[in-house]
Amino acid sequence: MTTAPVHGVAVATRDVHLAFGANRVLRGVDLEVPAATTACVIGPSGSGKSTLLRVVNRLLEPDRGDVLLDGRSVLRDNPDVLRQRVGMVFQHFNLFPHKTVRANVTLGLTKLKGLPGDEADEKALHHLDRVGLAHKADVRPGNLSGGQQQRVAIARALAMEPEVMLFDEATSALDPELVKGVLATMAELAAEGMTMLVVTHEMGFARSVAQQVLFMDHGRVVEAGAPDRLFEAPETERLQRFLSQVL
Ligand code: ADP
Ligand code: MG
C-alpha cells in the first residue's frame, strides 16, 4: 500500500438501544474509539455486533442513544452525507459483477460525490494501488479471488475518503488461504491512522492490531479493554466461556 495521509476521527456511541419488535437487540451500548485507533468487537453470533455497526453508519436508526463522530452527534445529520464519512466493508463484498473493478470503485465517486470521470478514475486507481490491485483495474470481479474482491471492496470504501472504517466480518466468507492478505490490508490501514471499528473472529488480528477489544453479548458491551488484558485475564464468566470456545 502506498502511504496516503489518512485522518481518522473519534467515533463513539452513548447508550444505544434498538429493538426489532420484541427482540431487544442493542440494550445500551457505549463505546469510544479514539481517533486513529482500532477497536475490535468480538462476541457470539446474535449478540448484536452487525446491528451495532449498522447503527453507527445509520443503515439503522437507534430507538434511543447517540452516535458521535469527532465528539459531535450525527443522528440529526443527513444519513447519505454521514455514510460518506463512514466507510463500511461487509462479509459479502457486493461488487457489481458486470462492471470492471475500476468502474466498481468510480461509481460512488461520480454518483455520490459528483466527481468528473477522469478525476474519479485517477482516485480509483490510487486506491486500487493502495490495496495492491491497480493491475486488475480492467477485469471483472468474477476473475478475481475472493480475497482480491474483498480488497477491491476496501478500495471502493477508501476512495470515498471516509474518516472512520467499519468492517463486519470482512474475512469470514473467504477461503482460509485468502484471509491473510485481507487482514494485512486492514492492518496497514490501521497503521496509517484510520479509525477502525472491526467485527471479527480473527483473534490474532484483534491481538496484534487493535488498541481495544470489546466483547458483546446479548446487546451489551460486557467487557472492554486492551487486547492483552482481555485475552489473558478476562474478568467476566461470559467472556471466559466465549474465549474457551474460540481460542
Ligand atoms: P451478530 O452480528 O452479533 O451475529 P446481529 O446484529 O446480526 O448479531 O443480530 C442480532 C439479533 O438481531 C439477532 O437476533 C437477529 O436475528 C436480529 N436481527 C438482525 N437484523 C434484523 C432485522 N433486520 N430484522 C429483524 N431482526 C434482526
Ligand atoms: Mg453479524
> Can you give the pLDDT at residue 5?
54
Q: pLDDT, tens digit, for every residue of 85-125?
A: 999 999 998 999 999 999 999 999 999 999 999 999 999 99
* 161: Cβ contacts below 8 Å, ≥ 6 apart: none
Ligand 1, atom 25, lies closest to the CA of 20
DSSP assignment of 45-106 equals: TTSSHHHHHHHHTTSS--SEEEEEETTEE-TTS-HHHHHHHEEEE-SS----TTS-HHHHHH
Instruction: Yes or no: say if 52 and 41 are a contact pair by the CB < 8 Å rule.
Output: yes
Specify if 2 maps to a domain. no
Ligand 1, atom 19, lies closest to the CA of 51
> Can you give the pLDDT at residue 247?
84
- Which domain, by its residues, includes 122? 9-246
User: Looking at the CA of 168, which ligand is closest?
Assistant: 2
Say which CATH number the domain at 234 has.
3.40.50.300
The total number of structural domains in the chain stands at 1
Instruction: Yes or no: say if 242 and 42 are a contact pair by the CB < 8 Å rule.
Output: yes
User: Is residue 54 within 6 Å of ligand 1 at its C-beta?
Assistant: no
Specify if 31 maps to a domain. yes
User: Looking at the CA of 22, which ligand is closest?
Assistant: 1
Q: pLDDT, tens digit, for every residue of 146-202?
A: 999 999 999 999 999 999 999 999 999 999 999 999 999 999 999 999 999 999 999
Specify if 3 maps to a domain. no
Instruction: Yes or no: say if 42 and 234 are a contact pair by the CB < 8 Å rule.
Output: no
Specify if 151 maps to a domain. yes
Specify if 4 maps to a domain. no
Ligand 1, atom 27, lies closest to the CA of 20
Q: pLDDT, tens digit, for every residue of 22-56?
A: 999 999 999 999 999 999 999 999 999 999 999 99
Specify if 167 maps to a domain. yes
Specify if 1 maps to a domain. no
DSSP 8-state class, residue 191: H
Please state whether the predicted TM-score (pTM) of the whole model is above 0.90: yes
**Which single residue is written with the C-alpha cell 470503485?**
105
Residue 193 Cα to ligand 2 middle (Å)? 25
